[in-house]
């Protein structure tokens, strides 16, 4: 696995190969290079999410022959440290000092809100492979911002729809107190019309949930819905089982997935989640990706890795569309919107707000015969689903 550094990690020499550039497309680049900045959370309890994003993107670069859109590619990796102020400064450095053409990131929505302006206004394109806040899907949609993941609400809507279909009458909701947490509960309630008996917001990064679990036990709900990514999700699932709440259905998003399952293990088996993809999705490109990722990194990829891989494919297709002419911003923008590539998730296109239109699934945590853990598709919940904020975006 690529080592983590808080300073910029330059991979140009490794990716470049020969100094002579082959093909007419490459000759169109200003200096024969495409520069991409990767910004992920690569330290602290949530680093595993950023590591999957980084590794997924770099696997795509390797698979594409270390050239995106026919251009020799230089990648600069930075750690946003899950601090918006740090991310803002590093985003400016990527655009102004490193002169990147694209920034891919971040992991968390509070960081996304911090970097959109320094990246998009600075003249680069920002592709978010995970965070997808409602404001940028709607009235604040930005011509230089594209999302390869989803609008934050959508995955949570999967669980809300499932809970509604199951006839659960009383639910407890739990999320960290930041933008994505608020979006998660809003998304769940968009599809769920039953009674919410308790809605709890916790500090971002909280790892002890004893107080919240006591309240859940007292409420005796029909089910619990939680959004607790990274280390928060690991601890919540373990403590949920330890508290004897295993008989209360546990529905979640980004709480039980390939980033948390290696630590949660059997404690998470049988718990449901929502996703736009799972490692057992039955199409050739997804199977090849999962096999390559597991061979290279020794772990099962999650949506964080898949969406970053697709972000690389988006860039590759856009640069090809302009024949390597990175000065053609309008052409690059049109190429990104066209999304002329085969997504790992299958059905995929970009909507008017630059957010994907795609399928969503109910997934279930399972233990494979080889002892590894993964989420597996249980049923499709939404088909070609566009987020509910797109109508508020004025871009055509």
CATH number at residue 65: 3.40.50.2300
Q: Buried b vs exposed e over 127-162: b needs ≥16 C-beta within 10 Å?
A: bbbbbbbbbbbbebbbebbbbbbbbbbbbbbbbbbb
The C-alpha torsion from 44 through 50 and 52 to 56, rounded to 10°, is -160
339 falls within a domain: yes
Say what the pLDDT of residue 5 is. 34
* CA distance linking residue 341 with residue 307, whole number of Å: 13
The pLDDT assigned to 78 comes to 98
Domain assignment of residue 372, given as a range: 153-275+360-386
Neighbours of 217 (CB within 10 A): 14
| Same domain membership, residue 169 and residue 77 | no
Considering the domain architecture, whether residues 146 and 41 belong to the same structural domain is answered as yes
Same domain, residue pair 29 and 120: yes
Examine the domain organization and report whether 254 and 370 are in the same domain.
yes
Query: Are 228 and 136 part of one and the same domain?
Result: no
* 124 domain residue, yes or no: yes
At residue 17, does pLDDT exceed 80? Answer: no
45 and 140: one domain? yes
Question: Averaged over 368-376, what is the pLDDT?
Answer: 97
* Within-domain flag for 396: no
pLDDT tens digits along 240-255: 999 999 999 999 999 9
Residue 26 has pLDDT above 90, yes or no: no
Count of structural domains, the chain: 2
Tens of pLDDT, residue by residue over 103-160, are 999 999 899 999 999 999 999 999 999 999 999 999 999 999 999 999 989 999 999 9
Closest among 309, 314, 311, 275 to 293, alpha carbons compared: 309
d(CA 282, CA 326): 35
- Residue 296 burial (C-beta neighbours within 10 Å; 0-12, 13-18, 19+): middle
pLDDT at 45: 79
């Amino acid at each position: 696995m690529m080592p983590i550094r808080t300073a910029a990690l330059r991979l140009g020499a490794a990716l470049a190969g020969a100094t002579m550039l082959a093909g007419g497309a490459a000759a169109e680049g200003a200096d024969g290079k495409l520069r991409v900045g990767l910004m992920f959370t690569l330290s602290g309890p949530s680093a595993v999410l950023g590591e999957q994003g980084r590794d997924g993107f770099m696997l795509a670069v390797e698979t594409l022959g270390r050239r995106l859109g026919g251009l020799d590619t230089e990648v600069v990796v930075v750690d946003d440290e899950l601090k918006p102020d740090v991310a803002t400064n590093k985003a400016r450095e990527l655009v102004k000092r490193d002169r990147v053409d694209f920034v891919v990131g971040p992991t968390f929505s509070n960081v996304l809100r911090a970097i959109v302006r320094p990246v998009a206004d600075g003249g680069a394109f920002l592709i978010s492979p995970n965070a997808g806040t409602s404001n940028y899907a709607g009235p604040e949609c930005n011509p230089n911002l594209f999302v390869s993941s989803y609008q934050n609400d959508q995955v949570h809507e999967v669980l809300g729809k499932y809970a509604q279909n199951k006839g659960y009458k009383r639910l407890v909701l739990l999320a960290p107190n930041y933008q994505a947490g608020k979006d998660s509960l809003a998304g769940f309630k968009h599809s769920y019309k039953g009674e919410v008996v308790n809605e709890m917001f916790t500090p971002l990064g909280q790892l002890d949930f004893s107080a919240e679990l006591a309240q859940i036990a007292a409420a005796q709900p029909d089910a619990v819905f939680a959004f607790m990514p990274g280390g928060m999700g690991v601890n919540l699932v373990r403590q949920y089982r330890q508290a004897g709440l295993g008989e209360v259905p546990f529905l979640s998003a980004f709480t039980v997935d390939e980033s948390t399952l290696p630590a949660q293990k059997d404690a998470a088996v049988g718990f449901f989640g929502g996703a736009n993809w799972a490692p057992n999705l039955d199409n050739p490109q997804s199977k090849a990706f999962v096999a390559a990722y597991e061979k290279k990194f020794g772990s099962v990829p999650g949506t964080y890795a898949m969406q970053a891989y697709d972000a690389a494919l988006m860039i590759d297709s856009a640069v090809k569309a302009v024949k390597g002419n990175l000065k053609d911003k309008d052409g690059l923008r049109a190429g990104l919107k066209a999304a002329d590539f085969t997504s790992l998730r299958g059905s995929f296109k970009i909507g008017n707000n630059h957010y994907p239109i795609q399928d969503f699934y109910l997934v279930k945590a399972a233990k494979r015969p080889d002892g590894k853990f993964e989420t597996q598709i249980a049923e499709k919940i939404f088909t070609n689903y566009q987020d509910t904020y797109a109508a508020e975006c004025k871009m055509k």
